[in-house]
A = this chain, B = another copy of it.
Amino acid sequence: MPDDRIGLWLIGAKGGVATTMMTGLAALRRGAIEPVGLVTALDPFTRLDLVDFADIVVGGHDIRAGGLGDEARRMWTESRAITPELLDGAADFFAEVEARLRPGTIVAAGDRIQSLADARTAAVVETPRQAIDRVRADIEHFQKAERLAHVVVVNVASTEPPPALPIPKDFAEVEPLLNDAAKCPLPASSLYFLAAAEAGASYVNFTPSTGATPACLQQVAIERKIAHAGCDGKTGETLLKSVLAPMFAARHLEVMSWVGHNIFGNMDGKVLDDPRNKAAKVRSKDHLLASILGYPPQTHVSIEYIQSLGDWKTAWDHIHFRGFLGTPMTLQFTWQGCDSILAAPLVLDLVRLVERGRRAGEYGALEWLACFFKSPVNVAEQDFSRQVTLLDAWATAHAAPGGGPPPSVP
C-alpha cells in the first residue's frame, strides 16, 4: 500500500544524527536491533497506529561533499559508537538515500557553516526566495517520486548563529525582504521551514537554530495548517537539568550556582567553536534553570571542541546548593553520552508522532512534544517529568485500548 508511506526529509542529511538515524532505521527494518532509545516503542505509543519503520522513506539536503556511508563510518572509526556490523548492514539503505539527496542552501547560514560547503554548493548565488523555491521543489519532487502520503522535514543541520536583524512580527513585512539577501532577517533554518510549509510538509527543528520559532512564521504555520515542533533536541546535559532542577525546587533547596562544562569532538563541536554559533546553543542550554527554580542562580555553560572525543559528549555539572541552616552542599554529575546515538531515535519518534498528530488534525506548534526539546515552542513548562505527563496524556487519549496492536518491532 504505497500511499501509506511517509517521507522523512532531512536538512543536514550527511551529519552524525542523520546517518546514525539511517543506520538504526535500516537495522530496525531487518530486525537486527531492539528499539532501545525509541520512546515510541513503549506503551501507550505502540497503540497509536504510528507509521511503521518499513514505511518511512528518507531523503534530504546537505551542503557538504562526502558519501553517507563514509560519514556514518566515522561514528565507528572516530567514536566506536556504532559497530561495523550495523554499518555494513546499512550499506544498501545508504545507497538508496544517497540517490535522493539534493544540495542545500548556504543562504544566511553563517560563515562557519558556509565554510563547510562543497564547491558546487558554495558557488550557488540565490536570493532567500529562490532558495525557498528550490528547496520546496526538491521536497515536492521527493513526495511525488516516492508516492508519499506526507512528508516531515527535520532540521538536524549544524547550529547557525542567532539572527543579526530583528524579525518583523507580521509575515507580510517579511515576504518582500525574501528577495534581498542583504535585508532578509531570516536565517537558513527559517527558509527551510518556509519551503516545507509551502510544500505542505510538517517541520521539526531538532537544533537551536531559528527555524519556525519567530511569531511571523508560527503565523504561517497556522494559516497553512502546518504541524511543527521544536526546538533543540534535549538529549544530555540539559535533559538532566530539566530532571534535577525540579528536585531542588520541590525540596526548597536553594541552588546558588550551576556550572556545566561540555566537551565533545564532532562536527557540531567544530561549528560551535565559532562564538556566534555557540551563543545560540548556550542560551538554549541555560535558560530553563531560572524558569524551573523560580529565581536565577549563577550559571555558567561552556561548550568546547575536544577532537579526541569524537561524538562522545562528556558533560560535568557542578551544582552548589544551600539547605537547612544555610549549609552549603554539592551535587556533581558526569554524563558520558554519544550525541548522535541519543538524538537519532528521537528524530524517528518525532517523525512518527508529528505525522500522527497531523492525522489527528493538529497543526501549529505541537506543544505536547515539549519533552523532546530544550526550548519547546510556546511551552513554558521546563520540568521534564511534567512534560512527559503532557506527552503521555496525548498518547493515552489517542491510543487504541489496552488490547491494541503489539509493538511492530520485537
Q: Chain B residue with minimal CB distance to A310? A: B328
> Which of A31-39, A199-207, A360-368 forms contacts with chain B?
A31-39
- A336 near B330 with CB under 8 A, answer yes
Copies of this chain in the oligomer = 4
Q: Chain B residue with minimal CB distance to A335? A: B331
Known contacts A250-B371, A251-B39, A329-B338: A259-B344 contact under CB 8 Å:
no
**Closest CB in chain B relative to A261 CB, distance in Å:** 5
Interface residues of A in 225-277 (CB under 8 A from B): 239-240, 243-244, 246-247, 250-254, 256-257, 259, 261, 263
How far, in whole Å, are A335 and B333 apart by their CA atoms in the complex? 8
Contact of A83 with B by CB under 8 A: yes
Residues of chain A at interface, number, CB under 8 A: 75
Contact of A53 with B by CB under 8 A: no
- B308 near A323 with CB under 8 A, answer no
- A345 near B316 with CB under 8 A, answer no
- B37 near A323 with CB under 8 A, answer yes
Q: Which residues of B contact A37 (CB under 8 A)?
A: 251-253, 323-325
- A341 near B327 with CB under 8 A, answer yes
Name A308's contact: one of B41, B256, B388 (CB within 8 Å).
Answer: B256
- A304 near B300 with CB under 8 A, answer yes
Q: Which residues of B contact A41 (CB under 8 A)?
A: 252
Name A33's contact: one of B39, B81, B326, B338 (CB within 8 Å).
Answer: B326
Q: Which residues of B contact A84 (CB under 8 A)?
A: 84
How far, in whole Å, are A53 and B394 apart by their CA atoms in the complex? 43
Name A259's contact: one of B256, B298, B304, B323 (CB within 8 Å).
Answer: B304
Name A83's contact: one of B298, B325, B335, B386 (CB within 8 Å).
Answer: B325
Contact of A160 with B by CB under 8 A: no
- A38 near B334 with CB under 8 A, answer no
> Which of A19-27, A149-157, A397-405 forms contacts with chain B?
A19-27
List the interface of chain A (C-beta within 8 A of B). 20, 23-24, 27, 33-39, 41-42, 80-84, 86, 239-240, 243-244, 246-247, 250-254, 256-257, 259, 261, 263, 298, 300, 302, 304, 306-309, 314, 316, 318, 320, 322-338, 341-342, 344-345, 371, 383-386, 388-389
20 other A-B residue contacts (CB within 8 Å) besides A240-B331, A246-B388, A324-B345: A23-B325, A36-B252, A37-B253, A37-B324, A41-B252, A84-B84, A243-B247, A244-B244, A246-B385, A250-B385, A256-B308, A257-B263, A257-B307, A316-B318, A316-B332, A324-B342, A330-B336, A331-B336, A333-B334, A385-B386
